[in-house]
Amino acid sequence: LVGVWLGMELNLYGFLVIMNPDGHYIPEPCVKYFVVQSTGSILMLGGFVLLMQQFVAGGLMMSVVGTVLKSGISPLHSWVPSTIKNSSWLASGLMLTWQKVAPLILLSMIMPLGGMWMVIGLMAMIGAVGGLNQNSVRIMSAYSSFVHTSWMFLGLTWSTVVFMSYFLVYSMSVGLFFYGCSLMNKLSMMSQLSGAASGMGLMMLMGMPPFLGFLAKVLVFLMSSSAIIVLCIMGSVISLKY
């Protein structure tokens, strides 16, 4: 467990450099991300210490809360949209994809199954409703990621292979969409390359057949035998609006 914590800390310091490589970006998202991740790390480490002292219930609770905060999932998700909004396209894309892998896998190991069902349902509904009244592409992408995270987390409860398959498809979708958005500016708003990349990424994010996003959702749907899948489907349908 301490090795997992150490790996997340090394990842944090490396990611802060990616968030602000030249010092030209707004420092606010870097500071906010650092404070949130540091708080989560303190809670995780405190939980591990309690576990080693045989305080199992308290240590497990602290570890789960710290990991949930670091991963940015419900109910400790409020820092994600504001951080994404002011970050670069590269940092935003990594924050919505790669940065979620280690915390989610750790959560699947230490969180009780009932807590996982609750988190999945909350993520699906918050992601669906939260993005409806937004006008920022980055913020809408953040709320969309909540819906996709509920699908990934659901897949992770049954199979790591299903989780990795969905994660790879989602990462490809976000990468294409954000790459197209990063190419857009006032002079070439409708350039063919940026338009094609954004359109392909959006279709995959929406889960429209016959794109890979649809196949990934079908894979999770076929693997899952829990009624919580209904909330995930409702969240995806509502999120189609934005």
User: Which tens digit of pLDDT belongs to each residue from 148-182?
Assistant: 999 998 888 888 888 898 899 999 999 888 888 88
- Express as a percent the part of the chain with pLDDT over 90: 5
- Express as a percent the part of the chain with pLDDT over 70: 93
What was the pLDDT predicted at 22? 64
CA 136 to chain centre: 17
| Threshold 0.85, pTM exceeds | yes
- Mean per-residue pLDDT, 198-223: 84
- 69-110 residue pLDDT tens: 988 888 888 889 888 888 888 888 888 888 888 888 888 888
- 17-31 residue pLDDT tens: 888 766 666 678 888
For residue 237, give Cα distances in angstroms to 12, 59, 77.
34, 38, 21
Which amino acid is residue 64, in one-letter code? V
Q: Where are the alpha helices (H) located in the chain, listed in sequence order?
A: 2-19, 27-52, 56-71, 79-85, 89-96, 101-110, 113-130, 137-158, 160-183, 192-206, 212-223, 229-239
> What are the domain boundaries of the chain?
1-240
